[in-house]
Structure 1
Amino acid sequence: MTPPTARTWARRGHTPIIRVRGRSQRRFSIAALACYKQDERSRLIYRPKHHVDHKRGGRRSFTWTEYRDLLIAAHQQLGAPIVLVWDNLNVHRDCRLREFIDTHNWVTCYFLPAYAPDLNPVEGIWSLLRHSSQTNTAFTDPDHLMRALRHGLREIQYRNNLIDGCLAETGLTLATSRQQRQ
């Protein structure tokens, strides 16, 4: 992963060049749920994953069973029904995951329109993570990257005002107004 750069310097008239060691073939994925409930603090529930078999043609993202397990863990942690608003990632639309959601009355699922990352609060979480814990850092090994990811997510997790800000940035609200019949 090429680290995002926040600041650099060079002599006047010289273009700054930032050298980063060779690209890694290792893959990391993070699944996250930004959880909102009226009159309660916002929560962030996440699962990072290091795909160790990436070089041998293994899966490079979360499977539907891992998303299912994340939903079950979130339901247990929150102790309440879940209204899930998901983007159109192919695994989110997997028929086995849909079947799981349809057979459990504690989860309701809605999909965002295609190509609408500006309506997804979790995209704001990724932006915060990238610009906080990863800025100006060249990771020495996969464990260093994983520690930085977990640390950055933990910092966001305990600052619910950041999670609220990600929802506010979308323009969406928790309370939906119903049209009144006249």
Structure 2
Amino acid sequence: MRYAQGGGLTDAEREARERVRLDAVARFEAGDRNKAIAATLRVSERSVERWRRQWREGGAAGVASKGSPGRPKLSGAQVARLERELERGPLAHSWADQRWTLARVKKLIGRLFRISYTVEGTWRLLKRHGWSWQQPARRAIERDDDAVELWKKEVWPRVRAPRRPATAGSSSKTRPASR
């Protein structure tokens, strides 16, 4: 079943949909035809065909809801371990710098738990557990702020070219009168 962009079923809607499927199972067992079941339950015949196939292959359990696809996949213990590993830093996990990116956290989750998250799912997991987005300051590690200030006060005034004084006609926007 397809839903509108960004849509899906809430837990209550999922339960209602499952009741419809289980009602269809009772009708399969009674020997009703797909067209009659679809009309009675007000669903498409294709859905009824799909449910019948799932029922034949797995019984009533084959038609049961698989649950929300957006539920967290990590247990509480796994999240605690992930947080410990994140606190150790990226260098401890063989990355060359000290930045945790979502792609790196996603890869770390895959390495530690053999579970695949999307980048967006990784962000939601981290946000749900109190981690926040941070923009690293773009500064060289070797930067010495005191030396920079000293250079700006003492060296820069000597280095920069002095400004030419504005003289009439040098850069004025007035034009001589036309003849």
Measured against the shorter chain, the TM-score band is under 0.3
Larger-Rg structure: 2
Q: Which has the higher contact order (CA 8 A, sep 6+)?
A: 1
TM-score scaled by length of structure 2: 0.22
The structure in which a higher percent of residues are helix is: 2
The structure in which a higher percent of residues are strand is: 1
TM-score scaled by length of structure 1: 0.22
